[in-house]
């Protein structure tokens, strides 16, 4: 096990709070691929007036879909057996499905089966879901408020991105530039109309 894997597995212990007798106090854990997913879900919970800490809910970034199996083994029916939910990108649906099957959650799971277990798949990824929910014009206004519209226009002029849809360009922009992806996860959620929350984000929080 490498250092990155050790770090993220240590998140399990931090997420699953225990009293002095070692009794597990957490009511549920939402497993997500990365920090931007965590930030988005926590921001959405705040906007809906939920206090996840008070509810005993932890949103845990696992450091990539390839790590899902280890977390499911520790937290699932063969481990601490806490209530679980999860969110992943479409490209990582297979990793999550196999992890669930190997951890004893069922066999030959379909997308509907995964959702019944509380695990939801973004159509492409988190950024795509949020951009589609808001619309390109609204997202550009968020970018402008961050004084980054000039940087976005520069990306649009790059040969590799000319001719692409504005939504594709925005998704690329969100995924570049250091911690931009994490920062915009919260900003886009804060800009959402709460009647138009992307289905995977809405359902995964409702599950816990």
Question: pLDDT per residue over 18-35, tens digit each?
Answer: 444 444 467 899 999 999
Q: Name the band, by pLDDT with cuts 50, 70 and 90, for residue 1.
A: very low
CA pair distance 160, 172, nearest whole angstrom:
11
Cite the residue boundaries of each domain of the chain with CATH code 3.40.1360: 3-124+197-207
Q: How far is CA 94 from the centre of its chain?
A: 16
Q: Enter the tokens of residue 87.
A: 């969110």
Give pLDDT, residue 131: 97
Model confidence over 33-85: pLDDT tens digits? 999 999 999 999 999 999 998 898 999 999 999 999 999 998 998 888 889 99
126-134 and 35-47 are packed helices; what angle lies between their axes, rounded to 10 degrees?
A: 40
Report whether 133 contacts 197 (CB < 8 A): yes
CA pair distance 70, 88, nearest whole angstrom:
16
Domain 3-124+197-207: CATH class, spelled out: alpha beta
32 beta partners: 61, 87
Give pLDDT, residue 62: 94
> Is a pLDDT exceeding 80 seen at residue 95?
yes
> Is a pLDDT exceeding 50 seen at residue 200?
yes
Torsion of CA 33, 36, 41, 43, to 10 degrees: 170
Question: The pTM is what?
Answer: 0.87
- What percent of the chain shows pLDDT beyond 70? 87
Give pLDDT, residue 205: 96
């Amino acid at each position: 096990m490498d250092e990155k894997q050790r770090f993220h597995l240590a998140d399990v212990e931090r997420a699953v709070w225990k009293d002095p007798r070692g009794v597990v106090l957490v009511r549920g854990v939402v497993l997500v691929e990365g920090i931007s997913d965590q930030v988005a879900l926590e921001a959405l919970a705040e906007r809906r007036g939920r206090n996840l800490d008070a509810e005993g809910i932890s949103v845990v970034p696992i450091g990539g879909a390839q790590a899902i199996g280890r977390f499911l083994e520790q937290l699932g029916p063969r481990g601490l057996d806490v209530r679980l939910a999860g969110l992943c990108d479409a490209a990582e649906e297979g990793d999550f499905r196999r992890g669930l099957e190997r951890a004893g959650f069922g066999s030959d799971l379909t997308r509907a089966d995964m959702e019944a277990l509380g695990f939801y798949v973004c159509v492409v990824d988190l950024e795509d879901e949020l951009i589609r929910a808001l619309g390109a014009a609204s997202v550009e206004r968020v970018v402008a408020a961050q004084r980054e519209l000039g940087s976005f226009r520069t990306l649009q002029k790059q040969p590799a991105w000319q001719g692409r849809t504005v939504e594709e360009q925005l998704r690329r922009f969100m995924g570049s530039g250091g911690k931009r992806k994490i920062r915009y996860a919260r900003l886009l959620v804060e800009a959402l109309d709460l009647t138009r929350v992307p289905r995977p984000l809405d359902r995964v929080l409702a599950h816990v």
